[in-house]
Amino acid sequence: MGGAALEVRDLVVGYGPVRALRAVSLEVPEGSVVTVLGGNGAGKSTLLRAISRALSFHGGAVTGGTVHFGGRPLHSLPPDRVVAAGVSQVPEGRQVFARMTVDDNLRAGALGSRGDRPAKAAALRRVRELFPVLAERSGQRAGLLSGGEQQMLAVGRALMASPRLLLLDEPSLGLAPLMAARIADTIREINSQGTSVLLVEQNAALALRLASYAYVLEVGEITLSGPADELAASDEVRRRYLGVVDEDAAADASQADTTHPVLSRWEG
Amino acid sequence: MTIFIELLLNGISLGSVYALIALGFVVIFRATEVVNFAHASLLLAGGYITAVLSDDIGFWLALLTGIAGAALVGAAIEFLVMRRYRGADHSVLAIVTIGVDIMLVADIGRRLGTDILSVGDPWGDRVLTIGAVSLAQTRVAALLAAGLLITAFLLAFRYTSWGVAMRAAAENAGTAALMGIRLGRVSLGAWAVAGGLAAVAALFLTVFPTPGLEKSTAQVAMKAFPAAILGGLDSTTGALVGGLIVGVTESLATGYQGDLTFLGRGLGELAPYLVMVAILLLRPAGLFGTKELARV
């Protein structure tokens, strides 16, 4: 049995003449959380779109390489078959259906599921257990939810298809630190229930805490990879993605704190 | 006063028929963001099938065949023509629909020639009289049928999976595809539903007091165009309200034409367009339309 492992081999993606990914290879073993780090424009979202086959909506195309999930090729399927195969994506920037109610958003998420009625009801129960707020706001328009609630809805909507692999595109984007931490807890919980996660993040500190294995993507190429704790300890990652500065600068910064008025954190 | 009530009721009935056409228009626009100029030809196709078959297989069966036929024509346009242009600019697609419309109307027009076909409806020219108010039975039937269809449509739009898929695709096609919603199917369904609704509208545009189905029926159908636009092209509520406004305006303007001779003849034909222009001056997105917002 190939299980539910994702294997990406030598993936090449272009937007017209622009190469966005060059021979990217990575693996998500069954039941694991794997993260891909990288700055803006590194090709992180492109990678996820290539896996979920949604590139054509953004004017891109896969020009080489393969994507296999549980031994089955995904790289030649239309997006609905990818969902049916058990791979769901939470798009960047949440993209909830703002004019539809929370419940209708969740129903839309279940449309791609191969499951029967009881399976869908079970998926809905699971989502509401994970995010009780979605049950409370069931009749409300999604556009009226807060940013964090919208992110929960976006994740819940993807879970309605009962995926075996969840692709998450920057779930912490634009969220307050407290809310980002809650989303992180939820990702851990979803993973512990048996769903593999491929997490794309700019917030490297958060991503490295969650993941067991990490890749660093720079201008369309994997430049570093390794177990998450090793990467988190490596100097290069600490300097470039975790914002750790040398100690003199840190001391200067703490002095500056005492001489200037400091705004307290706004906790909304 | 009696005349006013009669005109008003006639207008509402006519308006509900326009609303059926406008609804199909809006459904296609929401599902595919294409303004469908071929809508009148769908209507003509539905009406033609009904009229040709009603002598042989009876009215009701002919009507059902007409509805199914128009739905099929709509689906065929989507499948054979629109789908080939996927990814093209929406204004290009709108112009493609003009081409499709010209071809279909020309073909049906050739078959019709100068004939005026009767659809063989069971109501004939009978009149329903309540107190001093009398109303053609066809108008009553139109109002009931349109009301029933519109209610069924809105319920389906709101509660069925088809409706959820449709609304999701309308709001954000890319994300809907990520959910596993098949956009091709959504757009095929929209064209088929629009065709079916147009066939029912065709029936009520060709029964008494209209003489029957003729080439110019396609032009009558185009009055649903201002209905859809003044309601807001992307709003189902707008299509209903717009249809009623156009119907009532037309009916009143035609009925009181005698008192308005200083404006010249044929005001009834013109009035819907005047109302549309006036409303668009005040609300450029239509009464219920979504304003296009872009963040810079």
Domain positions in chain A are: 1-86+163-268, 95-162
> Looking at residues B165-182, what average pLDDT do you find?
90
Decide: B45 and B108 in contact? Cβ < 8 Å. Answer: yes
Of the ranges A198-212, B55-69, B276-290, which one carries the lowest mean pLDDT score? B276-290
B86 at the A interface (CB within 8 A)? Answer: no
According to CATH, the topology of domain A1-86+163-268 is: Rossmann fold (3.40.50)
Sign of torsion over alpha carbons B236, B252, B35, B104: positive
Q: Do B182 and A100 touch (CB under 8 A)?
A: no
Closest among A234, A232, A181 to A205, alpha carbons compared = A232
Residue B259 has what pLDDT?
78
For A20-54, how does the pLDDT look when each residue is reduced to its tens digit (9 = 90+)? 999 999 999 999 999 999 888 888 999 999 999 98
Please state, for a pLDDT cut of 90, what percent of chain A lies above it: 57
Q: Which of A169, A1, A3, A11 is nearest to A75 (CA)?
A: A11
Percent of chain A as helix, strand, coil, to the nearest 5: 40, 25, 35
Contact with chain A for residue B161, Cβ under 8 A: yes
Chain A residues close to B168, C-beta within 8 Å: 97, 100, 104, 108, 111
Distances in whole angstroms, Cα of residue A134 to Cα of each of A9, A119, A153, A173, B59: 38, 19, 7, 20, 51
Rounded Cα gap, residues A35 and B295, in angstroms: 31
Out of A126-135, A193-202, B253-262, least confident range: B253-262
Mean of per-residue pLDDT scores for chain A:
87
| Secondary structure (3-state) at B234 | coil
| Mean pLDDT confidence for A67-80 | 91
For B179, the closest of A58, A99, A109 (CB atoms) is A109
Write down the pLDDT at residue B296. 44
Answer yes or no: is pLDDT of A188 > 90.
Answer: yes
pLDDT score, position B266: 75
For the stretch B201-225, pLDDT in tens is 999 988 887 888 888 888 887 888 8
> Are B105 and B40 in contact, with CB atoms under 8 Å apart?
yes
- Asked if pLDDT for residue A65 goes beyond 70, the answer is yes
Greater model confidence, A230 or A247:
A230
pLDDT of residue B294: 52
Residue A252 is which amino acid? D
Q: For residue A36, what pLDDT is reported?
A: 94
Report the distance separating Cα B138 and Cα B209, nearest Å.
8
> Can you give the pLDDT at residue A250?
52
The percent of residues above 90 in pLDDT, for chain B, comes to 43
In this prediction the pTM is 0.84
* Residue B87 predicted with pLDDT over 80: no
Residue recorded with tokens 């906790």: A267
Task: Give A252's pLDDT tier (boundaries 50, 70, 90).
Answer: low
Is the separation of the CB atoms in B217 and B43 below 8 Å?
A: yes
What are the chain A neighbours of B179 within 8 Å (beta carbons)? 83, 88, 108-109, 111-112, 157-158, 161
What count of other Cβ atoms lies within 10 Å of the Cβ of residue A226?
A: 15
Report CB contact under 8 Å: A80, B177.
yes
In this predicted model, what pLDDT tens digit does every residue of B97-134 receive, in sequence order?
999 999 999 999 899 888 888 887 888 788 888 888 88
Considering only residues B251 and B264, tell me which one the structure prediction assigns the higher pLDDT: B251
Amino acid at the residue B277:
V
Distances (CA, A) of A76 to A91, A187, B79, B121, B200: 21, 29, 22, 52, 42
Residue B180 has its nearest CB partner, among A83, A91, A98, at A83
- Between residues B263 and A107, the one the model is more confident about: A107
B2-32 helix and B224-231 helix, angle to the nearest 10 degrees = 70
Substitution target from B159, B172, B179 for chain A, most A beta carbons within 10 A: B179
pLDDT score for A58:
83
pLDDT at B188 over 90: yes
What percentage of chain B has pLDDT greater than the value 70? 98
Are B174 and A91 a contacting pair at CB < 8 A? yes
pLDDT of res. A268: 53
Of residues A80, A100, A107, nearest to B171 (C-beta): A100
